[in-house]
Amino acid sequence: MESMADVDAVTVTAQTVRGSFGVYVHVPYCTSRCGYCDFNTYLAGSADMVELGAQWAAGVAAEISAHRRAETLAIERPVDTVFFGGGTPSLLPVPAIATVLDALAETCGIEPGAEITIEANPESVSPRNLRDLLAVGVNRLSVGMQSDDPRVLDVLDRAHQAGAAQRAVALAMQAGFTRCSLDLIYGTPGETIESWRASLAAALATEVGHISAYALAIPRGTAMARRIAAGELPMPDDDDAATKYEIADELLGAAGLDWYEVSNWAAPGQECRHNLGYWRGGDWWGLGPGAHGHVRGVRYENHKLPDRWFRGTTDGTSVARSETLDPSQRHTEHVMLATRLREGLDPAMVPQSAVQSLVEQGLLIHDDRLRLTRRGRLLGDRVVLALLE
Amino acid sequence: MSDTTPGQTDQALIRNFCIIAHIDHGKSTLADRMLQATGTVSERDMRSQYLDRMDIERERGITIKSQAVRIPYRTPLGQTYVLNLIDTPGHVDFTYEVSRSLAACEGAVLLVDAAQGIEAQTLANLYLALDNDLEIIPVLNKIDLPAAQPERFAEELSHIIGCDESDVLRVSAKTGEGVAELLDRVVEVIPAPSGDPQAPARALIFDSVYDTYRGVVTYVRMVDGALAQRDRIRMMSTRATHETLELGVISPEPVPASGIRAGEVGYLITGVKDVRQSRVGDTVTSERDPAAVSLGGYQDPKPMVYSGLFPLDGSDYPDLRDALDKLKLNDAALVYEPETSAALGFGFRCGFLGLLHLEIIRERLDREFGLDLIATAPSVVYEVLLDDGSESVVTNPSEFPDGKIAAVSEPVVKATVIAPSEYVGAIMELCQSRRGALLGMDYLSPERVELRYTLPLAEIVFDFFDALKSKTRGYASLDYEPAGQQESDLVKVDILLNGEPVDAFSAIVHRDSAYNYGVAIAAKLRELIPRQQFEVPVQAAIGSRIIARETIRAIRKDVLAKCYGGDVSRKRKLLERQKEGKKRMKMVGRVEVPQEAFIAALSADNDK
């Protein structure tokens, strides 16, 4: 059964985040390409990162001052959350991060107690680097662990060794990070149920307060998609993924990390406030190549190619396209995003008949809100479709 | 004495002929060259496949409707002749139309690709031409091709027709080589018409085409007498009378004339709006001085193959009805009546002359009327005798009676297959497996053989031709003609989804292949139908007996694991598409089936 005990904690945080101002900053560099990844990333040697990082930071800073002046994008309040994602943000020299945070502080102001997250690959953190990040204001670390099984890491082309993610978290905690998260991937070809359980146990053993777990998706055009098409790897199986999701929810919940979004589990107060902003329809700027942003019903996307994006930051054309959502699109997005959250959806937003039928099918719980059951979380797409009828 | 004005041309100066050829053997190109060589079409107006009127005809390289063109030809000796080239359909579905076109001619050019030799349909049409006592001019085309083997195929043709090898002309319709010699040969060997110009008028209708602006244009061969503008004419089969508002000849576009007379080929316009009022094969006479006896040979068109046509979008149903009504104006063989399918909604049960006819109608509905359709698997016409002595005709498997059945009979055809002799074994094996009975076998040459079989039409309609092509690497050609009904051990196989029958997939098959059919369809549907929240059995059954079963496992996960800032728009668009898709879902009991699954399952048979 679903435990509702911690919903209030999340809802309280919700009050503070609602109407929030988030900033997502995309770092498009990696030292190697993982076979399953279709993100906007480019290979770069660590030796190039000082120069690349300085240029990148200058571009982001230019975007910040341009956005502040732009009528459609301006947000008149201090920043609540910042998220450096990638790519591999931990490749960046810390001064580049500092440049961006300084520009934000100067131009917009940063709320005291703001959540500032950086993604890191296990192999690219060091005690020195972690101390420097804390010193410039970063206070949350999200480490891409993916698995504790060397065979799985190998299939995923991950550069790190099993155990490296746990060591990175331990270093971060020693350095003074109080909010750490681990990312896990399940359903990789060749991963057994036992291997998945072991990865979950290894992640929990670090005592992080937040874990994200994603079913492996195989985007078209990736190296892994080609290997599967060529028969070198088996196609991931949805039933296997469903079983592993249930295992994750079981083990993580038992360890005190409850789900607050379909693929995210956290101890009370450890939820990622930045990501909650996405699901609650908050406003955020997307900065950096290929980043997406959302301000008052306008969604926009930056140019993906770093050179094109950078040129755009100098002449105000870094945004490649944008769309203004009409009321029906806003409604669709709201239903689609709110149902992903444990705090759920306001029943008044959707037809009662659809709710009734979904409750009978055991996919939805109807109390003061509408919340997905565990089975409903796995079948979230059809729940949303039914609610949108 | 050499007046070639329409209506006054001496029969002695007229030559009426057609070209018998297989698809791709160059008939349209040869016609083009003749039009150019005689100056009938100027270089400026020339376009490729001049006589093929429909886009479908041009693209597929086939002729669906007949066409006649009057070609004035001045011989090297300075005499001008009138050559009427009657272009005929070249497909087994239209054998009746071909026979009427042949009946309008005194001679035929047998055109054969010099790299490929004669094909079964050409041979069948050649026999039709010989039955009509036509003078045959054998011609090998494409002699410019490096792969051409004119000696070898000249020998084959001489063997088939019984002529001398040296009588076989060699041309290249592409380069024009030999075309002048061919025109001379037409004048030389094809007999002039020999009707009686003084007798009461008799004209054979060999085609009838609906034109939006002018109504039905009827193509005729005047056999006896003459017709003039403003004459009242009578259709001898229906006794209906009309006034000729316009008549004339095609050269190469319609040219009105004051009259046409015995031996000539031309067109009539009477203002009728439906080709059923001016039927191919009928005899036209004058009302004032009617002929006593018709030219004979008239038959009502008879559908051989039935299929249900359903609009993908149910709201297109009225458009489909209007479109069929329009096509019917130009197609006396098309029949249809409303049909309701639990799986596919409202549509029409349509009868066709054959598979090509079906395909053409579908394609025209798509192209000319913009209709997206699903067609059910084609079915032949079954005659079912019940234990109580009552009989019924079944053209739709879902109407197959459930009661006690005494006997079922199905249409059979006499089929001719021509192929290189190395494939004889494979062809015999195939025909055997499709319930064929060997009637005979002839070697056309040491390398090529003709096999004659009786086969159930249903087997041909299913996938016989594709199987034949694949077993002979495309070298075999097939022709067939109806040969009556034959009693067979046939059963209806139903397909059940979660226990509910899906009418669109019911099929009447021979008892021996029922199991294979059931297994194949069930397996196909298992692949095509998305998983539901509950387990769905897919079963094939004869009556209440289940003969095959597959299971669609319940779905456990459909959600996208990640949905961050950059995923929102994409995910919303996906949802919007899924919402649209959901509207096109058909409910079979509790099971949601996307229309695409029905289409894929139904079309897979055609594509095989």
Whether A5 has a pLDDT exceeding 50, the answer reads no
Write the burial class of residue B370 (CB in 10 Å: 0-12 exposed, 13-18 middle, 19+ buried): exposed
Q: Are residues A40 and A151 in the same domain?
A: yes
State which amino acid sits at residue B408.
V
Please report whether residue A359 resides in a domain: yes
User: pLDDT band at residue B453, thresholds of 50, 70 and 90?
Assistant: very high
To the nearest whole Å, the CA of B566 is away from the closest chain A CA by 5
Contacts of B575 in chain A (CB under 8 A): 332, 336, 381, 384-385, 388
Mean per-residue pLDDT for A182-203? Answer: 96
Strand partners, B553: none
What pLDDT is stored for residue B488 in this prediction? Answer: 95
| Local structure of residue A334 (DSSP, 8 states) | H
One-letter identity of residue B185? R
- Flag if A275 and B564 touch (Cβ within 8 Å): yes
Q: What are phi and psi of A63, to 5 degrees?
A: -60, -40
Please check whether residues A259 and A387 belong to one and the same domain: no
For every residue of B448-462, DSSP letters joined together read: EEEEEEEEEHHHIII
pLDDT score of B481: 87
Percent of chain A, pLDDT > 70? 95
pLDDT mean across residues, chain B: 89
ipTM of the complex model: 0.89
Q: Is residue A250 included in any domain, yes or no? A: yes
Taking any CB pair shorter than 8 Å as contact, residues of chain B touching chain A are: 533, 553, 555-566, 568-569, 571-572, 575-576, 578-579, 582
pLDDT at B298: 80
Query: With 60 as the cut, is the pLDDT of residue A335 above it?
Result: yes
User: Is residue A139 in some structural domain?
Assistant: yes
Q: Which residue among A279, A300, A320 closes a domain?
A: A279
Which pLDDT band holds residue B66 (cuts at 50, 70, 90)?
A: low
Q: Tell me the C-alpha distance between A218 and A54, whole Å.
A: 33
| This prediction's pTM | 0.67
Q: With an 8 Å Cβ cutoff, are A378 and B558 in contact?
A: yes
Count of domains for chain A: 2
pLDDT of residue B351: 94
Beta-carbon contacts of A136 under 8 Å, excluding residues fewer than 6 positions away, are: A94, A97, A98, A101
User: Looking at chain B, which residue has its C-alpha nearest residue A381?
Assistant: B559
A98/A226 same-domain check: yes
Q: Per the domain annotation, does A285 fall within a domain?
A: no
Is residue A232 within 8 Å of A154, Cβ to Cβ? no
Q: A377 vs chain B: nearest CA distance in angstroms?
A: 7
Per-residue model confidence (pLDDT) at position A9: 39
Beta carbons of A299 and B569 less than 8 Å apart: yes
- Strands B335-341 and B345-352 turn out to be antiparallel
Residue of A186, A300, A379 to mutate when probing chain B, most B C-beta within 10 A: A379
In a domain, A292, yes or no: no
**A172 belongs to a structural domain:** yes
Rg of the Cα trace of chain A? 21
What radius of gyration do chain B's Cα atoms show?
Answer: 27
- Supply the CATH number for residue A17's domain: 3.20.20.70
Maximum average pLDDT range among B24-28, B49-53, B294-298, B490-494: B490-494
| Nearest Cα residue to A274 out of A23, A14, A26, A12 | A23
Token digits of residue A320: 């490649």
Same domain? For A53 and A155 the reply is: yes
Structure confidence at residue B59 (pLDDT): 60
pLDDT of B62 above 60 = no
pLDDT of residue B55: 62
Q: Flag if A214 and B561 touch (Cβ within 8 Å).
A: yes
A303 located within any domain: no
Query: In the A/B pair of chains, how many CB contacts fall below 8 A?
Result: 94
The angle formed by the CA atoms of residues B128, B132 and B137, to the nearest 5 degrees, is 80
Give the whole-angstrom CA distance, residue B594 versus residue B576: 16
Query: Is the pLDDT score of B469 beyond 90?
Result: no
Q: Are strands B232-235 and B283-286 parallel, antiparallel or unpaired?
A: antiparallel
pLDDT value at residue B14: 96
Picking from B551, B557, B564, B592 by the largest number of A CB atoms within 10 A of its own CB, the best residue to mutate is B557
| Collapsed DSSP state (helix, strand, coil) of residue A278 | helix
Please give the pLDDT value at position A17: 40
Residue from the list A243, A336, A385 with its beta carbon closest to the beta carbon of B572: A336
In a domain, A294, yes or no: no
CA A25 to CA A284: how far, in whole Å?
Answer: 10
Please, which residues have CB within 8 angstroms of residue A210's CB and are 6 or more apart in sequence?
A142, A179, A180, A181, A182, A257, A264, A265, A266, A267, A270, A271, A272
Which DSSP string do the residues of B406-424 spell out, in sequence order? EEEEEEEEEEEEEEEGGGH
Banded model confidence at residue A336, pLDDT cuts 50, 70, 90: very high
In the predicted structure, residue A12 carries a pLDDT above the cut 60: no
Q: What is the pLDDT of residue B64?
A: 54
**Is B538:B497 a contact under the CB 8 Å cutoff?**
yes
For residue B485, pLDDT over 50 is answered with: yes
A385 plus A256 within the same structural domain? no
Q: Does residue A355 share a domain with residue A216? A: no
| Claim to verify: residue A37 and residue A180 sit in the same structural domain | yes
For the stretch B558-581, pLDDT in tens is 887 788 988 999 999 999 988 888
List B491's β-bridge partners, or say none: B509
pLDDT at A8 over 80: no
Dihedral angle of Cα B19, B23, B26, B28, to the nearest 10 degrees: 70
**Which residues contact residue A196 at a Cβ distance below 8 angstroms, ignoring those fewer than 6 apart?**
A186, A244, A247, A248
Say whether both A232 and A128 belong to one domain. Answer: yes
Residues A161 and A270 in one domain: yes
| Residue A224 tokens, joined | 């892994």
Confidence tier at A7 by pLDDT (50, 70, 90): very low
Give the residue on B whose Cα is nearest the Cα of A295.
B565
- Single out the residue in A279, A303, A334 at which a domain terminates: A279
Question: Which chain A residues have any C-beta within 8 angstroms of a chain B C-beta?
Answer: 24, 213-215, 217, 238-239, 241-243, 245, 262-263, 275, 278-279, 284, 286, 290-294, 299, 301, 323, 329, 332-333, 336-337, 340, 361, 377-382, 384-385, 388-389
Q: What is the pLDDT of residues B346-377, one digit of tens each?
A: 999 999 988 888 988 998 899 889 998 888 88
Structure tokens at A309: 């994006």
Check residue B54 and give its pLDDT.
58
Are residues B279 and B235 in contact, defined by beta-carbon separation less than 8 angstroms? yes
Looking at residue B403, what is its pLDDT?
Answer: 75
Say if residues A298 and A74 touch (Cβ distance below 8 Å): no
Average pLDDT over residues A69-74: 90
End-of-domain residue from the set A231, A257, A279 = A279
* pLDDT value at residue B252: 83
Tell which of A382, A383, A387, A388 to mutate to test the B interface (max B CBs under 10 Å): A382
Predicted confidence at residue B542, as pLDDT, reads 93
The residues near B186 (Cβ < 8 Å, ≥ 6 apart) are: B15, B17, B83, B107, B109, B137
**What confidence category does residue A66 fall into, taking pLDDT thresholds of 50, 70 and 90?**
very high
pLDDT in tens, B219-234: 999 999 999 999 999 9
On chain A, the residues whose CB falls within 8 A of the CB of B571 are 336
d(CA B164, CA B182): 16
Percent of chain A topping pLDDT 90:
82
Reading the block at residue B162, the tokens are 């019984």
Question: Can you give the pLDDT at residue B607?
Answer: 37
* pLDDT value of residue B57: 61
Q: Do B557 and A241 touch (CB under 8 A)?
A: yes
Which residues, other chains included, contact A262 with Cβ-Cβ below 8 Å and sequence gap of 6+? A340, A372, A377, A380, B559, B561, B563
Contact B563 A278 (CB under 8 A): yes
If one compares B306 and B594, the residue with the highest pLDDT of the two is B306
The boundaries of the domain holding residue A370 are: 345-389
Query: pLDDT digit string (tens) for A222-280?
Result: 999 999 999 999 999 999 999 999 999 999 999 999 999 999 999 999 999 999 999 99
Q: Are residues A242 and A371 in the same domain?
A: no
Residues A335-341 have a mean pLDDT of 96
* Tens-digit pLDDT profile for residues B380-438: 999 999 999 899 999 999 889 887 889 999 999 999 999 999 999 999 999 999 999 99
Residues A118-146 have a mean pLDDT of 95
B interface mutation test: which of A292, A325, A334 has the most B CBs within 10 A?
A: A292
Distance between CA atoms of B416 and B180, rounded to whole angstroms? 34
* Residues A242 and A377 placed together within one structural domain of the fold: no
DSSP per position, B246-284: EEEEESSSEEE-SEEETT-EEEEE-----GGGS-TT-EE
Determine how many CB atoms are found less than 10 A away from the CB of residue B176: 16
In this structure, the answer to whether residues A387 and A249 fall within a common structural domain is no
Assign A37 a pLDDT band (cuts: 50, 70, 90).
confident
The answer on pLDDT for B1 being more than 90 is no
Is B559 in Cβ contact with A381 (below 8 Å)?
A: yes
Helix, strand, coil share of chain A (percent; to 5): 45, 20, 35
